[in-house]
Amino acid sequence: MAGEVDEDVLTEILARLPCRSLARFQCVSTSWRRIISSDYLRRRLPLITSGVLYHDDTHRGGDADSGRRQRQAYTYACASGGVGSGGGTAEAPDMGFFPRHDTSTIIDGCNGLLLYYSSRPTAFHVVNPTTRRWAELPPPRARTLLSVLAFDPCASQHYRVVCFTGWLPRGATIEVFDSERGAWRDHEVDFGLDTDAMSATMHYSGGALHVLAYSGHVVRVDLDTMACAVTALPAPVSCRARAGHCRGRLRFASSDGARLRIWELKDAAGGEWALKNEIGVSDVVPGGASQSITFLFMAFHPERELVYLWSPWKLLAFDVVERRVEEEWVFGSEKDGTHLIQVWLFPFSRHLANALA
């Protein structure tokens, strides 16, 4: 069939299909698989925008008393159309293919994969909503205190699950599951800072976890060597602060709900940061400063000067160069008591399609 269609025409057709269809169509023929796996098609496709929502069921009034089954506290949602589509709505996909969905909880996610945990019996599962595949992990040996999923769909189909199992005065004991090896390994890390200063706000990029510390630092934990590097931040760390990468450089965002400041790390060795942008509510919503409107920083675009802001009940893609909202997606509503707590922007790639295969 592929031989009857010009390859350029076929590429144009494939670029307009949903990512889930592309994952299935890799099996049509070797030529289709080659085209779908190519970096050229990946660059043509819009980034996938998805996130995890927290549902405050106190907003649901008498639903809990009526005997109807309550929904899960955390759900996954994927925005229609992806980045570049002009926006729209974000819908929760049917997760019925994963048999433990109703008895497990989403505890983390990373670039298209979700980490589920269930306590009775204790089990970790990694789920790929795009391809509707899932895998159960062997149980870690120690009780876990905090678990993080690490996956880069541009680099490999393999992922890691990092479980912090104990706290040391200036570090931690951890177990790391590597899907390539299919086993857990014990490690001990030295943060280089007092553990009490460490936050649970982490960002995965380039094979490392970047952990914000309330002492005003970011700690880079290399997951290959477990070596840690500490860099001073240009502003205090609050619950609204976030780290991320854009064009391969580490950035730091600090917000008070009405004003957002963004710095970029110019020199890791010297700890030199440069202020890139400053955004106010009135930049995002004309007249917003007088309307008690606030926003939360959620994520950086990995390649463009876009930031993603949560302003109930929408996710806004704001162009910091043009100073305008480029796209927006509706995630839940105030009536639902829905809050967006994590956002990922990632490409469809052969690694995403083959993860958990």
Q: Name the β-bridge partners of 47.
A: none
Q: Which amino acid is at 260?
A: L
What are residue 164's phi and psi, to 5 degrees? Answer: -80, 120
Domain residue spans of the chain:
7-45, 46-59+69-347
H-helix segments, 106-208: none
Residue 281 pLDDT = 85
pTM listed for this prediction? 0.87
Q: Alpha-carbon distance 301 to 92, whole Å?
A: 22
CATH topology (fold) of 46-59+69-347: Neuraminidase (2.120.10)
Q: What is the pLDDT of residues 50-102, one digit of tens each?
A: 999 888 765 444 444 443 345 578 999 988 655 555 567 888 888 999 999 99
pLDDT in tens, 41-56: 777 778 888 999 888 7
Q: Tens digits of per-residue pLDDT, 3-35? A: 556 777 877 787 777 777 777 777 787 877 787
User: Is-cis flag, bond preceding 273, omega within 30?
Assistant: no
Determine if residue 28 is left, alpha or beta; phi over 0 gives left, psi from -120 to 50 gives alpha, anything else beta: alpha
| Cβ-Cβ contacts under 8 Å for 72 (sequence gap 6 or more) | 55, 102, 105, 106
Q: Which residue type does 29 have? A: S
Whole-number Cα distances in Å, 350 to 40, 44, 181, 204, 218:
12, 14, 20, 20, 32
Q: How confident is the model at residue 288 (pLDDT cuts 50, 70, 90)?
A: low
- DSSP string computed for 26-40: TTS-HHHHHHHTSHH
Nearest residue to 150 via CA among 88, 231, 221, 256: 221
Q: Are 15 and 5 in contact (CB under 8 A)?
A: no
Instruction: Specify the amino acid at residue 307.
Output: V
Helix (H) or strand (E) holding 318: strand 314-319
Helices within the chain (DSSP H only)? 7-14, 19-25, 30-36, 39-44, 281-284, 350-354
